[in-house]
Chains A and B, each alone.
Chain A
Amino acid sequence: MTDASVPQNVAPPPAEVPDVDLYHAHSWITKYVFSQDAKVIAIQYAGTAITVGILALVLSWVIRLQLAFPGAIPFIDANVYYQSVTMHGMIMVVYMLTAIFLGGFGNYLIPLMVGARDMVFPYVNMLSYWVYLIATLVLVSSYFFPGGPTGAGWTLYPPQSILTGTPGHEYGIILMLVSLILFIVGFTMGGLNYVVTVLQARTRGMTLMRMPLTVWGIFSAAVMALLAFPGLFVACVMLLLDRTLGTSFFMPSLVELGERKDYVGGSPILFQHLFWFFGHPEVYIVALPAFGIVSDLISVHARKNIFGYRMMVWAIIAIGVLSMVVWGHHMYISGMDPWFGFFFAVTTLAIAVPTALKVYNWVLTLWHADIHFTTPMLFALGFLVTFVNGGITGLYLGNVIVDVPLSATLFVVAHFHMVMGIAPVLVIFGAIYHWYPKITGRMMDERLGKIHFWITFLGAYAIFFPMHYLGVLGMPRRFYEMGETAFVPASAATLNIVITVIALAVGFAQSIFFYNLFKSLKYGAPAGGNPWRAASLEWQTPETPPGHGNWGKHLPVVYRWPYAYSVPGAPEDYLPQNAPPVRGERSP
């Protein structure tokens, strides 16, 4: 069916899109270390992100041990506790999730999925990774400076973040701010690449509406990140100046330990605005790629086209736009004008509409589908459950009047861990199980994968679900220890112990995943080019793993959308995007 509005006499673009000069590696170092190949950079990004992620996982154990057994472990004093909370939060949100979704999956999948040979600016792409690595090293190095890393909380709110009572006020906070600034510079280089590659390097026939939702998710997240990270950048630069030069951007006049500080008139609220102007879109920067990936996992493993593709794309765009105007809901308790709170509550709750639309579409894709309970599918389904759970508590917290009493309790911890901790991490695992065969040419072990899924999914649920109850009881977050508190019953302490034990177990259980990951490199069953019989372009490469330049001599030509599954009358139950059309073909 041709669109009547398209002029028929327009010449089609050349089959071979005028190409970026492909960079050719000449030595081992330029091929695997200072590589400009997006696939190698992707592995580097993901490897670094997972490594710091493990550090952050260990830090979460420190937090949990203190909450369950206050004072029982000698080296966990209040300073160590707050430093662990800060570093755990910051690493997980910025250095792990953002980096692995955009730097890892973005780099690997965008060029392959849109049919490009590489990113459009490969050199900048390489630089992006190395700046990210330096940022990570700067952050971790704060453990080796006197005073250790900062313990200001991952939100780094002034004035406390740079006052002397906070651990790491000498070097920790400076290193944290410098590291974030570096991260943003590095990310901007990468982000430019992701966006421009999607805009410019799509192969012939790959229109915007024929891109897999994974690309849509990563693309929109990259656009949002490019617009949101400057908020954090400005906040960090100004806070750094407050700390080092003694300016008063954020620091009000105050007396500390009987000594009058030189700061005058600064506005801590201004920092909160700038921080959350980044901080809220950040949630969706993590969530949108996860949405996209989940859509593809569900469609492939349920052998059905995604339900409401257009709606899915529009929902991604709507969520992206709306998420830029909701940051105030993190500041309900900062004493803002009630009308302002009203505005932010409305925008926050409005986001539920496109989000719910996506959830319905996932469920309707599964409806009457030929569901294969492979490991990636299990993780995708696990995501659906945790995401809906976390999303619904988000509706509670989006209302000013409900948020005010719950804001400083474990309820919020439970909410955001469900929605942007567990849910995206499940997607990351699912995506690794799904694309591992393409990346390495070998399958991961299904049996171990399923064991890993059930332990992680049930375990994570057992950790975070009870926290809602603790939060409703009024158990505050951020507290080093509770001591004797009238409104907290003894059973709450027992529950805390249970949560901690499960957290330790689930953490250790991740070694199953790593064992599987490394063992399968060598001993996994050979995968072939397209083990999941998927239609999207990355599975149609001439070589597996894809060679340098991805596509051999000729770029693929795309004839249809990426969800042509169970097509009636087709020779197989899927039609690859680049298979020439059969006469009279109609996609379902």
Chain B
Amino acid sequence: MSVMGLFFIFIATVAIMWLVRQGVMESPWLEEGEVAHYRRAGGAEPPTAGRVGLAVFLAVAGCLFSLLAAAFFMRGDAPDWQMPPIPGVLWVNTFLLAASSVALQVAVFAARRADAERVKTALLVGAVTAALFLIGQIWAWRELLELRFFASSNAANAFFYLLTGVHALHLIGGLVALARTTDKVRGAERVTKALTTSVELCAIYWHFLLFVWLLMFAMLIGWADGFGAICRRLLS
């Protein structure tokens, strides 16, 4: 549960800083007029609803993954826990997902420069590498299943399938959004502001999934064992 603790300290800090900036310390009954505290100085543009929506969604997804990690560490304490061997293809997958993330970031830069051709190529590369990542994950599952590491035979195996499965489902959801964005870019004559925003949203989501995957991978190959030990010491 220490994982959850860290996650919540992060969320609470962000939320409280934001609330203070938005003026929760002020006395509304002393203020009059319509723009009493309109305080977005410097003319920075307000974030779009899509961006805020994505941020909130990432908080929810982050919470989900932290809870899974917490469960992983707590269950991993039991004597029957036996991690399965990690299929080598996961290293390739990690590289593919990182490449996908980079490609989408390239798409963002291209979109800001209104370079439509480049956006299309970059989005396509991002989608293909992400799809290859998913195929690679299935490959890893098959490899483990052929070695008879079933979900029912050890909880560690089950966690392997659960974590990678939930991550893959999030990526599939992302691919649907990416496909819609790509479709819009293909139809568009030039890169509009709305299009840039959707490319940016996809890229942010991709970076988030890459970040989650890296932590998850570290957990699965055992680099995070020390962290798990700390958690358990805090608990007991």
A residues in contact (CB < 8 Å) with B: 1-3, 5-7, 10, 12-13, 20, 120-121, 188, 191-192, 195-196, 199-201, 204-205, 207-210, 223, 226-227, 230-231, 233-234, 237-238, 241, 245-249, 262, 264-267, 270, 273-274, 277, 305, 309-310, 313-314, 317, 321, 324-325, 337, 340, 557-561, 563, 581, 585, 587-588
Contact = CB atoms under 8 A, between A and B. Distances in A.
A207 B28 contact: yes
Given A6-B38, A245-B152, A230 B60 contact: yes
A241 B152 CA distance: 9
A231 B67 contact: yes
Contacts of B59: 226-227
Given A6-B39, A227-B63, A207 B53 contact: no
Nearest to B159: A249
Nearest to A327: B1
Contacts, number: 180
Contact of A273 (B1, B56, B159): B1
Contacts of A1: 30-32
A1 B33 CA distance: 9
B202 interface: no
Contacts of A248: 80, 152, 154-155, 158
B32 A581 contact: yes
B67 A234 contact: yes
B75 interface: yes
B28 A209 contact: yes
B38 A10 contact: yes
A6 B36 CA distance: 8
Interface of B: 1, 4, 8, 11-12, 15-16, 19, 22-41, 46-47, 49, 52-53, 56-57, 59-60, 63-64, 67-68, 70-71, 74-75, 78-81, 151-152, 154-155, 158-159, 162, 166, 235-236
A206 to B, nearest CB: 9
Contacts of A200: 47, 49, 52
10 contacts: A2-B31, A10-B38, A245-B151, A248-B154, A317-B19, A321-B12, A337-B235, A559-B33, A561-B29, A585-B32
B76 to A, nearest CB: 10
Given A10-B40, A12-B38, A267-B74, 13 more contacts: A1-B30, A7-B39, A192-B60, A200-B49, A209-B26, A248-B154, A248-B158, A249-B158, A265-B78, A310-B27, A317-B16, A337-B235, A557-B34
B67 A277 contact: yes
A587 B8 CA distance: 38
A585 to B, nearest CB: 6
B29 A309 contact: yes
**Residue from B12, B34, B79, B162 having most chain A Cβ neighbours under 10 A:** B34
A226 B56 contact: yes
B32 A560 contact: yes
A249 B34 contact: no
Contacts of B81: 265
Contacts of A277: 4, 67
A131 B40 CA distance: 38
B44 to A, nearest CB: 11
B39 A10 contact: yes
B28 A561 contact: yes
B162 A237 contact: yes
B28 A196 contact: no
B12 A234 contact: no
A438 B225 CA distance: 58
Contact of A12 (B35, B46, B49): B35
A94 B96 CA distance: 41
Contacts of A585: 32
A274 B67 contact: yes
A201 B49 contact: yes
Nearest to A7: B41
Contacts of B154: 248, 264
B56 A13 contact: no
A199 B52 CA distance: 8
Contacts of A245: 151-152, 158
